[in-house]
A and B are shown apart, each in its own frame.
Chain A
Amino acid sequence: MKNKIQQLRKERKLSQAELANMLGVTRQTIISIENEKYTASLVLAWKIAKVFETTIEDVFDFSTIDDNLT
């Protein structure tokens, strides 16, 4: 899933390791999310948004998700 983590992280001058440490995950998890290889869970997405003091929608791009809700 597309996201702005790398951009937000660089704006705040945070390294991947520092962000990982703040979120309680491994650096590899941050790398995988940034490279769109892994989709964060709802809880982790919420934590990421909280670290960057923004909303989940501002961090993650949900436009590619099929939203044909019945």
Chain B
Amino acid sequence: MEEFRKKLIKQRKFYFILAIMSAIFYIVVNIYNNSDLNSLDYKFLNGSRTGFIAGLFGISIANFISLGKCLKDDEKLKKRYIEQSDERTKDITIKASSATFTIMIILSAIAVFVSSFYNATVYYTILVSALASYIIYALSYLYYNKKY
């Protein structure tokens, strides 16, 4: 349990740093923004960016507080340890990730094909994204094949 406690302390530090970084990132992004203020695209993209950073900040703070409560209470710590180390939960996570990846690969392949009829930029963006997924999958497969 002590090892797990140390792991949570590290995670808590990470979320604290992430919260600060996202706050700084938000300020920097808003200062160095020279887009046309009247553009609808700008407003949409700016809103998306703000939402992304705010989400990151919110998740970091929520996890920071949750981990703090957990570290103070041994019962909560044990419960969290069981939840995180439970083999069935791990199995479900692996199966869900695997299914998601397979579906994403099929959908991205369809998207690459369909986008080729409409827009070259969209086509190349999806193509590069799909290829990156395949490469990452192949590399991680090789890594785990060597590891086990």
Binding site for B on A (CB under 8 A): 20-21, 24-26, 28-29, 32, 38, 40-41, 43-44
Most buried by A among B81, B83, B88: B88
**Contact residues in A for B2 (Cβ distance below 8 Å):** none
Q: Taking the nearest CB of chain B, how far is it from the CB of A10, in angstroms? A: 22
**Would you call A38 and B88 a contact (CB within 8 A)?**
yes
* Interface of B (DSSP majority class): helix
Residue of B nearest to A40 (CB): B87
Residue of B nearest to A33 (CB): B88
Interface residues on B, range: under 10
Binding site for A on B (CB under 8 A): 81-83, 85-89, 91
**Would you call A29 and B85 a contact (CB within 8 A)?**
no
**Would you call A24 and B88 a contact (CB within 8 A)?**
no
Bound Cα distance from A28 to B89, whole angstroms = 9
**Contact residues in B for A29 (Cβ distance below 8 Å):** 86-89
Residue of A nearest to B89 (CB): A26
**Contact residues in B for A28 (Cβ distance below 8 Å):** 88
